[in-house]
Amino acid sequence: MEQLNKVEIRGLVGSIKTQTFSQNTMSRITVATNYVYKDKTGAAVIETSWHNIIAWEGKNICDCNKIERGSKVYVQGRLKYNKYMTEDGQERQVTEIVATRLTLIDDDESLSYEM
């Protein structure tokens, strides 16, 4: 059986932090995605999820210096789980998307989805 670890999201950038190691540039980006549904009364409810993205600049990754808060992005990558200990000794787990493709979306493209 072939295994698959692939994620695709489109959303809005919340924050971006860029670091350079030797000659490699890595960016940590938060991206918000919305899921819209109707409650029992028929009113629209928007559920926002935040995703942590790790992007190493290079093939299929756009110039991260062009990305800013509020930019619309398309991200393709794989899930990665990291565990760490807090200062008070509790173990925590964080889920990240390691980007294999990161593209800025033109303002002409819509991020809305049909229900």
Whether residue 115 lies inside any domain: the answer is no
CATH code: domain of residue 73: 2.40.50.140
Q: Which of 65, 92, 64, 60 is nearest to 77 (CA)?
A: 60
Whether residue 109 lies inside any domain: the answer is no
Whether residue 1 lies inside any domain: the answer is no
Instruction: Tell me the residue ranges of DSSP E strands in 6-111.
Output: 7-21, 24-38, 44-56, 72-85, 91-104
Q: What is the rounded average pLDDT of the residues 95-104?
A: 94
| Amino acid identity for residue 17 in this structure | K
pLDDT tens-digit profile of 10-35? 999 999 999 888 888 889 999 999 99
- Which pLDDT score is estimated for 81? 95
| Amino acid identity for residue 4 in this structure | L
The residue range of the domain holding 83 is 7-104
CB atoms within 10 A of CB 38: 10
Whether residue 62 lies inside any domain: the answer is yes
Whether residue 114 lies inside any domain: the answer is no
Based on the structure, what is the number of domains in the chain? 1
pLDDT tens-digit profile of 32-61? 999 999 999 999 999 999 999 999 887 777
| pTM of the model as a whole | 0.81
Mean pLDDT estimate for the chain: 88
